[in-house]
Structure 1
Amino acid sequence: MPEITAGQRHWSVPTGQNLLDALNAQGLNVPYSCRAGSCHACLVHCVRGEPHDRNPDALAPDKRAEGWRLACQCEVVADLQVEVFDPATDGLPAKVQACHWLSPNVLRLRLEPQRSLRYQAGQHLVLWAASGVARPYSLASLPQEDRFLEFHIDCRQPGAFVDQARLMKVGDTVRLGELRGGALHYDPDWQDQPLWLLAAGTGLAPLYGVLREALRQDHHGAIRVLHLAHDAAEHYLREPLAELAAAHPALQVQLLTAADLAQALGGLRVSSRQTRALMCGSPASVETFSKRLFMAGVPRSQLLADVFVDRA
């Protein structure tokens, strides 16, 4: 059986065991979200040995050459020594600036980092609570406009980080992990193209950042935002989105519940093959969005998505 070394820990695992599961079974709290190689939250550094990587193209070649691997995509097939993120020494401290409810189930967390952080709309950070519990969350703020980092936390279900977030107060310390980016971003080359942003639940957070970035860069094409929520009370950015739509005639916002979804998606019509569609939410919602958009005529290469996976 191969042996894993991480810090001072050494243990044996069955050949072929998933590296992320092997590390977390030892209490190392390697964060993850999608388990599909998209979010990059479970990045670890392999300093000796080589796991079997099922999805090598998920990482840039330079990252792979440096020994970085996505633990969720790797199987342990030989002895392996890895380094995992240590929030006590590697994390950037940030103070809770504000913490309040945007809806009955969505908590807005605003953090002020110890030093300025360079990031782009659509990226995400791993947040480490004082207890050592970690979870990746997408940024809803913009570096050019906000003096804080903003996160929207879905608290419908209990979870290790969610339970900690509910108790956070102004002045508490949260440590920030490595800044990472998935598929979501705004490209200035899209400026004249139609832009569709489809979100389910707090999948709206990164797309709200992308929307504001597009408007900040004076996007010329039409922009359409669809937000799917469990009920009307969970359209937690209703007012900010309405204000943006009032100020930008080319922006259309639709707020949907499950009862409205089929009709709304069925009514989508692509006016240009150059339409770009960005999606974020649960795997099921993103799959529903992407199928309908492809049927509506959006090329697969122009469908970009990040998924959120519930983690108890």
Structure 2
Amino acid sequence: MKLIPALLLWVGVNSVLFAQEDYYTVTAQKGDGIYSILRKQGLDPVKHYESFVLLNEKDIKDGSLLHVGREYKIPVTDDSYKKKGMILMADNSTEKPIFDKELGQMSHSGSALKNAVYYIILEDSSAAASSFMDDVSKNLAAKLLEQGASVFVMGGEEEAKIALTPQERLGNYVASINKRFLQNQGKYQRLLVIKSNGTIQSGNLDVMVFHHDKSEQGQRMAENLQQVFKKNSIVKREEASSQTFEDKNMLFLAKNALPAVSLITLSKQEKTGDEVISVRSDKRKFANWITDGILKDYADLQIEN
């Protein structure tokens, strides 16, 4: 009988410990309400409003107002943008959220991609292109997250500080991607490489889309992306189609990464040929076009299934 009180005490202590792991605290800033403080943490305020109130009911005034400077408990959830949108570094030792301060401006716009996972690799051939590429990747990641997807970004300006050979870098990317692919088995997963060939500042861009010749899924996504770019092309080329890539790095990814791979290349307007699509070098529009192609690819697959 003496064991019962001890057992109850153990259960009680562990219940408190588990409860403590269900939230973390942040300090309310001027202008914060329940909706804004949840958005800043990458959470859907509609979905998590009740949980927040239950955790903080003693510190909420007039039903929804927060006290500036007071700490509030934020529920720990797997659907936070801070967990679903991550930057993975090539040394495989660092990962961090794509967004932090920008979370307050983001909001859930749908759930079309709630079962989708995207891996995005950025490749720059010049440092001047990095700003354009990073902005495109952030705009793209935001669009995908707002539709319910999980997004992992590799490459970009910060990668330049990591001394690795191209082969080592790609090998580490593959290891990170395959690890997360297995963790997300059963979901729709795709790998998109966005490659900049030269300095991008202003004017028009030449865009080409590629896929692996042995990947039906990669070809489907490439063709859907191609259709959207064709629709928004400055010069209409109805015969433009996606190409098969022959680059050794892309072939390495296609043969070793578990998700299907598609490639978008962009450069200054200087090429000719039916496969080249010319578009405006608008960062937001470029990200929107990629998002439209991704949504179309995902929707087509759902219709088939």
The two structures have a TM-score, normalised by structure 1, of 0.30
> Which one has a larger percent helix, Structure 1 or Structure 2?
2
More strand, by proportion: 1
Normalised to the residue count of structure 2, the TM-score between the two structures is 0.30
